[in-house]
Structure formats: C-alpha cells, structure tokens
Structure 1
C-alpha cells in the first residue's frame, strides 16, 4: 500500500464519492473526486475495484462489513491488506478498526447519529490512536456537526442524505473535513 496524504486530497476536494454499484466506478474515475468509499462489493470483484482506484491516483476505502463473501474479522482484514490496494477501512465496529489500523490501514468509524446515546458513544473515539476519521450519518444539522467536532476532536466526515450544495457547505462550514455521498450530482460539485 502506497503512502497517501489524504488530508491534502480532501483539502483539494472535500467531496468523497461513495459507491454502492460497481458500475459507477468507471465514470467516477474520470471525475475530480480524489477519495472513494466502496460501500458494497464482493470477494469476486474487490481486488479489481481497488486496483482501478489505485491506478487512477485516487484513494480508496472499503466498508469491511459490506463485502459479500468476506468475513469482517482478522482474516478478512489480512486478505484486504495482502490482495487489494485500499488505503483505508470503514466500519461501524470498533474492534475491526483497531485491527485494521494495526495492519496499516487508515480507519473511518461510521456512526449512525440518531439520538443522544449515539452521540455519547462517540466519546470512545477520543483515544488518540483510533480512528483516523469519524463519519456521522444521516446528515445532521449544522449545530449538531459543530457539537460533534468540538466534543470529539477527530476529523469529521458527514454523509447520508446529502442532497445539494447547501448541505455540503453547511457541513464544511460547521467543522466537517469532508462529506461522503452516493449522489452523483454531489460528486460533480
């Protein structure tokens, strides 16, 4: 895995394209987006997807729990490390992120921020080693984004139900480092 400066890439373009359909990848590789989240794949295609992303000069992350045919345990992580070009792992499960980071992956802790209990669970991400990024969804209001960035002090990615430029600007203005979206219209902003 090559060394990448994801922070520089996100400063250049804070839009992260998230794909659920592998057919969207070829179109995306021609875009200005520099970071790609692969949210769905299978054991049969994950290697080729990672290779295409890597060869395009973009940075790829993969959601560990959403690769059909691959377990989200140590063996699954080792497979990704040895057979793909992904730079990072996305997961809702804390132990997988700890193991992924030990293997040299960047990590994104994906958290569904639906209530105050979920907000309080983010406190465990205060650990200075884990994770590299926090991702919250669905797209909260600006006040909530600001509260998360003040409390957590980790680079924040906002995703889920990002529908227009105003959503992007609100997230960035209130402290998010980037937004992630499956909406092709957002990829082109």
Structure 2
C-alpha cells in the first residue's frame, strides 16, 4: 500500500472509527471520509452495516479482532471476504496473511509501548507485508515513526489517545499518514 491508498481511506488526516451503531450512522451521513473503521458488530449485524455503507459509497474497514461470533481463523476471514469486506485491521499477522490471499487491504495494528515492542513489530512486519501499519498509542514518538517508515516502507497510521485537533496535528507532523479515532468532533478535520 502506498500513500496513494491512504487517500482511498481518508480525505483528510482522520479516519472515523465507529464504536456503535450511532457512530456508524453519523459517519455515513455527516463525515466526508471515504472509509469508516468498524469497531463493533457481530456476524448477524455485519451484513446490514455493509449494505448501508455500500449505499453511502463508504469503504468499511473491519477491525477483525472485535467482530463477535466470527472465528479468528481462515474461515472467518473468508466469510468476511465473501460478505464484501474489502479492508481489515488486525493485531494478528496470521489473519492478515489470509486476508491478503483474499485480496483484502490489510492494516496491521501494533502496540508500541517501548523500544522492544518497536523491534518486535519491525520483525513481524518484515516477515509479513501488510498494506499499512497502525500504531497505538497515536502519541508515538517521531523516532518510532521514522524507524518504522524507514525499515518497512509502509504508511504509518495511528490511533489511541488522540483527543484534540492539536493531537492530530502533532501526530501528522511526526510523520503519521492518518489518525483513526472514535472522537466524532475530530472526524471532519481538514489537512
């Protein structure tokens, strides 16, 4: 995934992340971003959510680890692909590999708590090439973003602990390509 694909995910610095149906409905009708990260749902509600997103011409990025009733295995990923899911976020690289086989956009989520987590994350990304990496927390230091970008060549997204427009600006200034957040008041920020 190049920075061009980041443009497919957002038209500004923020990708909205919906934690519930109200957030999802709001993002469909009040947010300009071409995509929405889905942080809730189950195998029964997912088809209707995907239908609504298609009608609104929005790409749904499913957080694979958070969909209830979905096996966290090859069959679960294939189910998503057959259901029309085009993009996922996961913390599990083996699921990301399966999703890549299914021609899905894959965002690998990494928790960067310290330098060892950064080293481990870089090793993981060298054995599996997702389309992008999302780091948490979104307040990750610039040195970590530079190192991830230099070593992997991947666009770096960030999420978690982003509360204000200043937090978004700081992250973008640190080399982050886009922020994911569930804070509605940040969803329509412009670059």
Q: TM-score, normalised by structure 2?
A: 0.88
Q: What residue number does 2:183 align with?
A: 183
1:17-36 aligned within 5 A: 17-30=16-29, 31-36=31-36
Q: 1:110-139: CA deviations, max 9, x gaps? A: 011111221011223135x62001000012
How far apart are residue 11 of structure 1 and its match?
6.2
Q: Normalization by structure 1: what TM-score?
A: 0.89
RMSD: 1.7
Q: Distance in 1 between matches of 2:47 and 2:9?
A: 24
Instruction: Give the conservation status (yes or no) of the 8 Å contact 1:54–1:86.
Output: no
- In the alignment, does 2:136 pair up with 1:137? yes
Q: Runs of 5+ in structure 1 lacking a partner? A: none
The CA distance in 2 between the partners of 1:164 and 1:144, in whole Å, is 21
Cα deviation 1:56-101 (Å, max 9, x = unaligned): 1121110112111111111111111112x32111110110000000
How far did residue 181 of structure 1 move? 0.3
The aligned counterpart of 1:154 is 154
Cα distance in 2, alignment partners of residues 29 and 104 from structure 1: 24
Change in 2 beyond 3 A, CA 1:184/1:98: same
Which of 1 and 2 has higher RCO (CA within 8 Å, sep 6+)? 2
Partner deviation per Cα, 1:138-176 (whole Å, 9 max, x = no partner) = 121334333332333211101101111111112222221
Q: How many residue pairs were aligned?
A: 183
Say whether residues 1:105 and 2:104 are aligned partners.
yes
- 5+ residue gaps, structure 2, are none
